[in-house]
Amino acid sequence: MKHGKRPTRRQKQLITSKRLNHNNWLVVKDSRETFDIVHKTSGKVRSYPKLKGVIVKCVL
């Protein structure tokens, strides 16, 4: 399994916009096309596509 890193502020906003708790997820890969995160305890990996490499702002 890949080791993740703590998310930055913008990555936390992206994780929260997917209705996930950013405290439970680590960032594995953050490229122009995809955003891959792994759950801290279960090890489940999720991958989300980005739109033209732009992170969409979270509006709450």
The helix/strand/coil state of 17 is helix
Q: What digits encode the pLDDT tens for the residues 13-47? A: 999 999 999 999 999 999 888 889 999 999 999 99
Confidence category of residue 53, pLDDT binned at 50, 70, 90: very low
CA dist list (Å): 40 to 27, 31, 53, 59, 60: 10, 20, 25, 25, 25
Confidence category of residue 52, pLDDT binned at 50, 70, 90: low
Q: Is the pLDDT of residue 58 over 90?
A: no
46 vs 54, higher pLDDT: 46
